[in-house]
Structure 1
């Protein structure tokens, strides 16, 4: 950056710091002296200093927003950006696998918020095969070490991208021309996870350089992290109701163990060139890849034909749900092996030109992501007629009628598999022009245009090991028979060679004593061969789950920034047009929805790639004003019309469903004609900055939503491959429903005692849908992602050598959407304690220690009512110790 441009950035920071401790008149004098001196970077170090900078950013913003900055290079409050966001008032985070992944803001779920890196989209392709393609950002892909600050814009401005109902999160990275030349940051950490009992390394490094003229600079960051993740738990994968009786019966009661090896490598680089005092060019490049192979083992029952017996033997019933009973049905081991990964990159060119009375910003770039499950193999061995008894009250207790730790009790059942690759791409181009004006209260007029071309795809393959041998084979008709003839029980062929394991989470009974499956041998048999017979399996396109969605988005805006004696703000209008096309297969039902791609076994007579268009335009006005009631108090008012496009999976031509064993299934499907969700919102806030690191704030927000996604049920027959029959499936399909409302209150307090400080915030949110609640229709009358109560607490202590903090994060229960089987899924209230401490050996070296989930809280999910448990997951505690070097 050139000296003049560089000093503008430093000047802004100086103004913020000066105004915090003095009056406007004093600031004017001091700013004048600052402008005339060759001031260098203002370093912000320590918890207290970081909190002061956060307060400054919030205080002088024109809209309702919150900011968190790093205390030092590579030192964010949490290792995961999503977990850092959860400390902000009104922001909640999901932690399905023990790490923060997706965020909700002010009662709006993850799909109703946007995350931008330096103002632009970052592609996301989820790795988990059960995840739907949504618009939320997966924060596990972005290590916090590369982030300088993050801001949550709760009230919109016309110049920021549309697409969120709750808020827009902007992550800012460091730039070399803002840093000292030859800045270096290195860190080495070891993370111990209680559940996996593994210690994993985490390495990070950053180097920044600029020339003496400060016209050219380069910064490179690299992060390598490993984590052996293990999640143990208890699951009920559905509650089945029938028109023939008044009861709800649990099915697929199991105790799963999920194991995953995560290897994440991230490179972020920034190149800056300022050939003149007026021109600055910045090129950012992000490349982040995570290999996430995983396996899930589950000892699970199949309570379909057992319904009458379960009802007859019931001993505990609440609200029609049979919570304790017994039956003589089957229990099975279900072993799932997955090869998975996810990768994202972004190339972003940012050009700033400062003219005489105007400035021009041009940004160009592209982001691409690919990922998913590239191979899945599922094996099933069954204890036929073993029988079981269960009690789901309190801590669930389940006992199987045979010893589940003995592989000899489980006979050959079935093998299936597949793949689910996904991609996410976007090309963007924008130009923003700002004119300095003196027109009444207006000080600047901004206008701009932005074009985005986005594409999201999903592939889906199904593997069949029971396809006929192409050129003949052994005596059996197909390879699946050959496998099970050779390995008739789980103990045969060494499939149980890894011995027994104990599930230690959320359940008691002998269901916790299980066989550890031999993944390597299973994979070898499935894909290479057995006893001299080469593996033979068919790969089919699962036509109903293959889709593509394209969007062309054009946005235009004009915005006026104004200020006067004791007030400042902006008013603007953004117009957005969206051209959307959804693609999918149209096919006949003669091949059961499959098309064999490595042979000629199954081919539908009718197979066409078809499309559906859905176009819409919106005007989005916004207004923000901040009044300086006193030197210490600010009152804000904001009003806007906002929009959020529906999830990719919801507007796709896809469908998916669960197990069909038992003669009926449930699932979900997309709707390409969905309209976006629109909301008119209103914000009020009062902020009292009674000390340079202390503040008290109260905010009220209200959102009047239209066209919330509703759910309708469509029943169609689908093919049950295992039993070679067609069965009815009840599909939950999204529709353009009625609206709803979200309103709430945010309370925030931050106080510094000098060396010791506390921070607390609370959010109350009341969300309701205009659609009438009908418990017999899944998803009706519900708003996703909203917790009524959220609380964050933090206490810290620091001196010149030591820093320590303890943090608590809580949110009450919330509706998560439809389970993959079509059932409603709720998350019970969740609270987590975390702590961190550090010791400065000297000005360059710091020792760190962190603890995550100190009280070993479990994640609990349920269906409709809390007694209808769906899952209990334990991710365990994690401890991180490390050393960080900055110079």
Structure 2
């Protein structure tokens, strides 16, 4: 028996003992805690925090909660920003904007995401949640579950984020909320527009809520990339310098609503909800690469011969989630039964057409005394360089995932041995289809000779935080792409080795009991998930299909002890499973029969399996206040990472059955571990002295550690792990005025979407939010005005190569937004 299976057996035994222990305890109140109390609209910061903390205190597991008003009063661009302020959650940014969440330093895919309890596939690769298209207008609260219950998806190895949308019955009659704002991205003077609208109506039985949101951001990304190394004496050697300026427009939108009926008989509730959320990134890239054929040691050099290439691009990144749910809640005797049918479609596409000019030459001096601000002085005018040839290169990828989901949950209260208890059972069937292709070999063809690229040079110098010593100017990339299209741009023809064609069925069953005692409760149960999948591909012109099935038994037990009315101890043991991404699991691959080598997908990958423990001590020492400490540990088998290994060549070429081939791609490592300590404090000065009424502080810190063992025995960190993460917010709220200054910090980490040999350097952000609620209303409508500022210290984000030298620095500038909100 493997070690992980043995530990699962122990956990199952613990569940049985926990259930049996209930027999020997004294009876407690039968009332089940109700955590549906967090919807807070336009309440002060303190009231909003209090509602969230009350729900956290009553919850049956280790969870952190953000209310809608807390989200609204932070200067957040999306939900990733908001979640990044919770203990143990760190942000991964793309060109300065929050996109992904490293939940407790784990890879992105260890986190699952749901809307109103209905989990949806991640928009990236079918597994990875993105938060840059989810605005606050749709959100009544967000729960970040750290200890996973049996009624939550098994894919929640690191955590389960449940986004609750607004209910039509949150307020009787008609209600309305609007948010409009305008601002500027300081670097480049780009426009920022923010719009959100939500309306609802309800009576005793019928309700409807509709919402719409649209946000747009124009920004400049000042980027420098490097190929550096050090010689035997430790001197810097400059092989290549890459100067880039990105002009991007990022737009996100969300639209949808809920129609709901509430009854008094058997049919308690029936509803239909829909949500369409989209993110679009329109990117213009102006890039010049200088390669030194005979590099010399030192941070400065003169008259170095350099080959020059130029890349210009007007591309587009898109991702969307379209989810629709039909549901009904029934009262059948002592049972409350909830049925849900859901259809979800996620799409993610990338289209990058790049004219690449090569073969120009010049001589140059450089000075890298400040590596974040490299200076390169050319002997020739950049715009006068002559390129020998230009190629038209098309990069692209696309993935569409369609999911049919049926979910049935039932619960009832009962008594055993004079103890109040609740039994919950349920099943869920997911049928998923994934179709698309990955970025592999680009399509390459000669660029149309009829187009003179120099005609599209605007002559306007780059907006830059660093020194634009090369004299870079913007091109009319949109016009250049239009001319290319008219001359025959062509289309992306993905290689058969890059295709993704997968069917995946997941059947889940669970049962759990909550037994209540005078001192708290015990939640014990298990989830069983059976996975069937088929991965199809084309190898050397022959179609292949690899299919398999496996079953995971995922027990868990949660003990919640009320040491006092304001002091809670939690101890949880839980398990999880993480399936490979569709890119990793695809059967398509490129095969070199002569050398017996394969590169591409690995349809024989094992799913990652996890078992762990969470514990926390929470002191609710005053209203809207908490001081807590938590710790967690996870052991992970079959850690997925990129490497080379030996496989059976017959998987891809039937005639090579039993022959040992070399495979390069996603493989399984072993002995993965994650551990950490979380500290959290929220306090208000009024609890100490009335003279400081309105002042408060929110601070949290997480210390993390992780590692896994590669095939050769080398130990590496799990991607996404920073040794330290912390957030500090100082706020004041009184007389209608709310102000908050927030500082975020995370230590260096390896990005799950970058080269695993590279590391992002430490990152920090200072943000400011000021809001004032007008002291009068307009026929019952309350209005407030606000000012938000992001990245006040104008940070530069830096990444380092495996040899320890810098290989990228990016600057974005400060961001300002002025707006108004109205609620009635």
- How would you bin the TM-score normalised by the shorter chain? 0.7 to 0.9
**Per-residue CA distance 1:630-678 (angstroms, 9 max, x = gap):** 1111111101122222223222246799xxxxxxxx9984322211211
Given that 2:406 and 2:430 are in contact with CA atoms closer than 8 Å, whether structure 1 keeps it comes out as: yes
SS at match of 2:243: strand
Given that 1:122 and 1:367 are in contact with CA atoms closer than 8 Å, whether structure 2 keeps it comes out as: yes
Rounded to whole Å, the distance in 1 between the matches of 2:80 and 2:810 is 20
- TM-score, normalised via structure 2 length: 0.85
Matched, 1:743 2:675: yes
Rounded to whole Å, the distance in 2 between the matches of 1:874 and 1:654 is 38
Q: Residue 706 of structure 1 corresponds to which residue in structure 2?
A: 637
1:351 to 306, 317, 328: 328
Matched, 1:852 2:790: yes
Given that 1:765 and 1:786 are in contact with CA atoms closer than 8 Å, whether structure 2 keeps it comes out as: yes
Q: Residue 433 of structure 2 corresponds to which residue in structure 1?
A: 455
Q: Residue 232 of structure 1 corresponds to which residue in structure 2?
A: 222
Shift of 1:284: 1.1
Distance 1:481 1:41, change over 3 A: closer
**Per-residue CA distance 1:719-759 (angstroms, 9 max, x = gap):** xxxxxxxxxxx995221111221111111111112311111
Rounded to whole Å, the distance in 1 between the matches of 2:402 and 2:533 is 14
1:147 to 120, 134, 139: 139
Given that 1:76 and 1:145 are in contact with CA atoms closer than 8 Å, whether structure 2 keeps it comes out as: no
Matched, 1:760 2:707: no
Rounded to whole Å, the distance in 1 between the matches of 2:575 and 2:322 is 32
Q: Residue 565 of structure 2 corresponds to which residue in structure 1?
A: 631
Rounded to whole Å, the distance in 1 between the matches of 2:586 and 2:502 is 6
Given that 1:360 and 1:431 are in contact with CA atoms closer than 8 Å, whether structure 2 keeps it comes out as: yes
Distance 1:624 1:847, change over 3 A: same
Matched, 1:611 2:564: no
1:674 to 580, 588, 605: 605
- TM-score, normalised via structure 1 length: 0.79
Matched, 1:815 2:750: yes
SS at match of 1:293: strand
Given that 1:671 and 1:735 are in contact with CA atoms closer than 8 Å, whether structure 2 keeps it comes out as: yes
Q: Residue 56 of structure 2 corresponds to which residue in structure 1?
A: 58
Given that 1:233 and 1:503 are in contact with CA atoms closer than 8 Å, whether structure 2 keeps it comes out as: no
2:261 to 273, 280, 286: 273
Matches within 5 A, 1:726-805: 733-754=665-686, 755-771=694-710, 781-805=716-740
Rounded to whole Å, the distance in 1 between the matches of 2:103 and 2:304 is 45
Rounded to whole Å, the distance in 1 between the matches of 2:539 and 2:607 is 25
SS at match of 2:556: strand
1:575 to 528, 538, 544: 528
2:766 to 819, 822, 833: 833
Shift of 1:293: 2.1
Distance 1:427 1:586, change over 3 A: same
Shift of 1:374: 4.1
Matches within 5 A, 1:519-534: 519-529=477-487
Q: Residue 15 of structure 2 corresponds to which residue in structure 1?
A: none
SS at match of 1:569: strand
1:314 to 279, 297, 306: 297
Rounded to whole Å, the distance in 2 between the matches of 1:40 and 1:80 is 20
SS at match of 1:53: helix
Matched, 1:518 2:511: no
Q: Residue 644 of structure 1 corresponds to which residue in structure 2?
A: 578
How many residues are aligned here? Answer: 758
Q: Which moved more, 1:61-70 or 1:839-848?
A: 839-848
Structure 1, unmatched stretches of 5+, are 1-24, 32-38, 127-132, 317-322, 467-478, 530-534, 588-606, 658-665, 716-729
Matches within 5 A, 1:93-172: 93-125=91-123, 133=125, 135-172=127-164
SS at match of 1:328: strand
Rounded to whole Å, the distance in 2 between the matches of 1:397 and 1:193 is 24
Structure 2, unmatched stretches of 5+, are 1-26, 592-596, 647-661, 687-693
Rounded to whole Å, the distance in 2 between the matches of 1:402 and 1:740 is 53
Distance 1:864 1:430, change over 3 A: same
Rounded to whole Å, the distance in 1 between the matches of 2:711 and 2:808 is 27
Given that 2:676 and 2:703 are in contact with CA atoms closer than 8 Å, whether structure 1 keeps it comes out as: yes
Given that 1:465 and 1:537 are in contact with CA atoms closer than 8 Å, whether structure 2 keeps it comes out as: no
Given that 1:636 and 1:684 are in contact with CA atoms closer than 8 Å, whether structure 2 keeps it comes out as: yes
Rounded to whole Å, the distance in 2 between the matches of 1:536 and 1:44 is 51
Distance 1:714 1:681, change over 3 A: closer
Distance 1:645 1:397, change over 3 A: same
Cα root mean square deviation, aligned: 3.3
Distance 1:734 1:770, change over 3 A: same
SS at match of 2:94: coil
Distance 1:74 1:500, change over 3 A: closer
Distance 1:524 1:159, change over 3 A: closer
Higher strand content, 1 or 2:
2
Q: Which moved more, 1:145-154 or 1:384-393?
A: 384-393
Rounded to whole Å, the distance in 2 between the matches of 1:234 and 1:773 is 35
Given that 2:669 and 2:708 are in contact with CA atoms closer than 8 Å, whether structure 1 keeps it comes out as: no
Rounded to whole Å, the distance in 2 between the matches of 1:324 and 1:94 is 36
Q: Residue 689 of structure 1 corresponds to which residue in structure 2?
A: 620
Distance 1:122 1:240, change over 3 A: farther
Rounded to whole Å, the distance in 1 between the matches of 2:590 and 2:234 is 28
Matched, 1:499 2:464: no
Distance 1:282 1:394, change over 3 A: same
Rounded to whole Å, the distance in 2 between the matches of 1:404 and 1:332 is 14
Shift of 1:629: 0.7
Shift of 1:827: 1.0
Given that 2:113 and 2:122 are in contact with CA atoms closer than 8 Å, whether structure 1 keeps it comes out as: no
**Per-residue CA distance 1:532-556 (angstroms, 9 max, x = gap):** xxx4757533332222232110101
Rounded to whole Å, the distance in 2 between the matches of 1:630 and 1:417 is 64
SS at match of 1:691: coil
Q: Residue 285 of structure 2 corresponds to which residue in structure 1?
A: 296
Shift of 1:857: 1.2
Given that 1:339 and 1:376 are in contact with CA atoms closer than 8 Å, whether structure 2 keeps it comes out as: no
SS at match of 1:574: strand
**Per-residue CA distance 1:611-643 (angstroms, 9 max, x = gap):** 222422111000001111111111111011222
SS at match of 1:571: strand
Distance 1:702 1:785, change over 3 A: same
Matched, 1:283 2:222: no
Given that 2:758 and 2:802 are in contact with CA atoms closer than 8 Å, whether structure 1 keeps it comes out as: yes
SS at match of 1:199: strand
Given that 1:817 and 1:824 are in contact with CA atoms closer than 8 Å, whether structure 2 keeps it comes out as: no
Matched, 1:48 2:34: no
Rounded to whole Å, the distance in 1 between the matches of 2:438 and 2:638 is 30
Rounded to whole Å, the distance in 1 between the matches of 2:435 and 2:756 is 25
Given that 1:395 and 1:508 are in contact with CA atoms closer than 8 Å, whether structure 2 keeps it comes out as: no
Given that 2:719 and 2:756 are in contact with CA atoms closer than 8 Å, whether structure 1 keeps it comes out as: no
Rounded to whole Å, the distance in 2 between the matches of 1:460 and 1:813 is 28
